[in-house]
Copies of this chain bind each other. A is one copy, B any other.
Amino acid sequence: MRLKDLAEHLGLSQTTVSRALNGYPEVNEATRRRVANAADALGYRPNASALRLATGRAGAIGLVLRGADELGPHMSEFLSGVGSHMAAQEIDVLVATVASHAEELAAYRRLAASQKVDAVILHSPTTRDERAELLLELKIPFVLHGRTEIGHPVAWLDIDNAGALERATSHLLDLGHRRIALLNGLRGQTFAEHREQGYCAAFADRGLTPDRGLMANGVFTDEAAFRTAQAMLARRPAPTAFLAGSMMTALGVFRAIRQAGLELGTDVSMIAHDDVFPYLNADNMYPTMSTTRSPIRQAGARIADLITQVLAGKPLEEVHELWPVELVLRESSTRVRE
């Protein structure tokens, strides 16, 4: 039995029948009940493709990943948060993996054309993000995790990366450190630019200038961080403190410190940014790790909530959330060794 057959049986249009089955308010209660009873009696199972055509809702939100590696620890924690919120609403998350920037733009076009998703979560923005401009042009509702400057209002949620790094850097400066290495994300990514601004602001605030040779940009893996930290620790004078961009970065820096025969928390200090992974707990490390802390899972859950608000008609310029980041001091950050 197809929607068409059910509609013919009832003497109603397909649109009315599918609206009735979806509980749309335009259909009165008597008709809704008549349709539901007939569907039951005739064993009609709604076909989502037909319903989507009639109702214009896909029941899914999209997420495009550039390369399989993008589904790493950060993204999976974030998606856990999204999923926890969407589960209650029977909204699915459609994950499209692509291999390049060009393919990524094509994927958004494809999602727009196919109407497989009602909205998109845009993540890892650059300071002027072409994808955000494309999504506006394609008229796909989206919420941005992070910020971008494209001259149009967009809905976003971000953490205060500049504030977090300013506070962490200030704390290390107060402990007497001057050669503070910054292991930051890739250049052009908004969060990395914000973190650099915060780091530089803390130095400037004290009339100091950071050593640019201690500012590195790279991916947040144990391996990349190990190599960078190893090279920095071989310099003379060597850095006395590290700001690690993620917990994975912290693992690599920790390894380089050990390999150089130094001890974290006495010879060298470290503050890491902690997105709060259940399996890499800053409190359970030896020594325990000082962190700037913001659970990325909560951001995912909140963005899912914001998307449902945007789909319900909330104006984009009212969806702007900047979350503060806490500085949690533990054993890894101590006074500089003279």
Using a CB–CB cutoff of 8 Å, the interface residues on chain A facing chain B are 45-53, 58-60, 65, 67-69, 71-73, 75-76, 79-81, 83-84, 86-88, 90, 92-99, 103, 110, 113-116, 221-223, 226, 248, 251, 255, 258, 278-281, 284, 286, 297
- Extra contacts, 9 of them, besides A73-B279, A248-B279 (Cβ < 8 A), are A45-B113, A47-B114, A60-B94, A68-B84, A68-B297, A83-B95, A93-B97, A221-B278, A222-B278
Chain B contacts for A80, CB-based, 8 A: 68-69, 71-72
Q: Of B72, B84, B95, B99, which is within 8 A of A93 by CB? A: B95
B76:A75 contact, CB within 8 angstroms: yes
B72:A76 contact, CB within 8 angstroms: yes
Q: What is the CB-to-nearest-CB distance from A310 to chain B, in angstroms, rounded to a whole number?
A: 20
Chain B contacts for A79, CB-based, 8 A: 71, 76, 95
Q: How distant is the Cα of A79 from the Cα of B281 in the complex, in angstroms? A: 24
A94:B94 contact, CB within 8 angstroms: yes
Chain B contacts for A76, CB-based, 8 A: 71-73, 75-76, 79
Chain B contacts for A103, CB-based, 8 A: 87
20 A-B residue pairings within 8 Å (CB atoms) = A45-B113, A47-B114, A48-B114, A49-B50, A68-B80, A71-B79, A72-B278, A72-B279, A87-B96, A87-B97, A87-B98, A87-B103, A88-B99, A92-B116, A93-B95, A94-B94, A94-B95, A251-B280, A251-B284, A258-B286
Q: How distant is the Cα of A87 from the Cα of B46 in the complex, in angstroms? A: 30
Q: How many copies does the complex hold?
A: 2
Chain B contacts for A98, CB-based, 8 A: 87
Q: What is the CB-to-nearest-CB distance from A192 to chain B, in angstroms, rounded to a whole number?
A: 19
Chain B contacts for A110, CB-based, 8 A: 90
A87:B68 contact, CB within 8 angstroms: yes
Given contacts A84-B97, A94-B60, contact A113 B48 (CB under 8 A): yes
Q: How distant is the Cα of A87 from the Cα of B67 in the complex, in angstroms? A: 8
Q: What is the CB-to-nearest-CB distance from A197 to chain B, in angstroms, rounded to a whole number?
A: 27
Chain B contacts for A255, CB-based, 8 A: 284
Chain B contacts for A297, CB-based, 8 A: 68
Chain B contacts for A92, CB-based, 8 A: 94-96, 116
Chain B contacts for A223, CB-based, 8 A: 278, 281
Q: What is the CB-to-nearest-CB distance from A275 to chain B, in angstroms, rounded to a whole number?
A: 12
Chain B contacts for A258, CB-based, 8 A: 286
Q: Which residue of B lies closest to A52 (CB)?
A: B49
Q: Which residue of B lies closest to A285 (CB)?
A: B255
Of A47, A92, A222, A248, the most chain B CB neighbours within 10 A belong to A92
Q: What is the CB-to-nearest-CB distance from A201 to chain B, in angstroms, rounded to a whole number?
A: 30
Q: What is the CB-to-nearest-CB distance from A187 to chain B, in angstroms, rounded to a whole number?
A: 22
Q: How distant is the Cα of A110 from the Cα of B53 in the complex, in angstroms? A: 17
Chain B contacts for A99, CB-based, 8 A: 87-88
Q: Which residue of B lies closest to A117 (CB)?
A: B92
B93:A60 contact, CB within 8 angstroms: no
